[in-house]
Amino acid sequence: MGARKLTIAVICLVGLLVPVATLAQQDITGKTWTRWDETRQVAYLTGFYAGLKADAGIFRQAERDHRRRGSNQRDTVTSERYKSERQEFYARKVKYNFNLLRQLLDAFYKDPDNLLIAAPEAIRIVMLRQAGDRERAAFLLQRERRKTLKGR
């Protein structure tokens, strides 16, 4: 029972660290993005994906530690949800081509309705579109637009 509680604690910790690591600069929206030069935009994307990679490494290590302790009980729902949400930030066509991703984000932020959407969510939407999951991208876009309109 103690191992299960530890696993749940590790998963919760990772769940709390993910937003901190990947969304630490939540105030970066289209308004900020469009004021930056290309070099700064690419630097942001590089740092963002470095954070995602580090986060994935922490999660994999937690899973290995869990298996090493010999516990067969695993919260597969949380694990699979985490993996699928992280996968939304990657598209085979774009992969780590930050110049292409920068151009796609520039096009995304040309729509004035998107200017208040946070950069991490914009990246997610753009990558889902590139991966061909237009339905999920449209859902997230509408959700983010509603959030930005809520404060007005």
For 120-143, the pLDDT digits (tens) are: 999 999 999 999 999 999 999 999
pLDDT in tens, 24-70: 555 799 999 999 999 999 999 999 999 988 888 888 887 787 777 77
> Quick one: 145 exposed, middle or buried, by C-beta within 10 A (0-12, 13-18, 19+)?
middle
Domain residue spans of the chain: 2-150
Read off the pTM. Answer: 0.74
Rg (the chain; Cα; Å): 17
Residues in Cβ contact with 96 at an 8 Å cutoff, skipping those fewer than 6 apart: 49
Q: Which residue has the tokens 């729509």?
A: 111
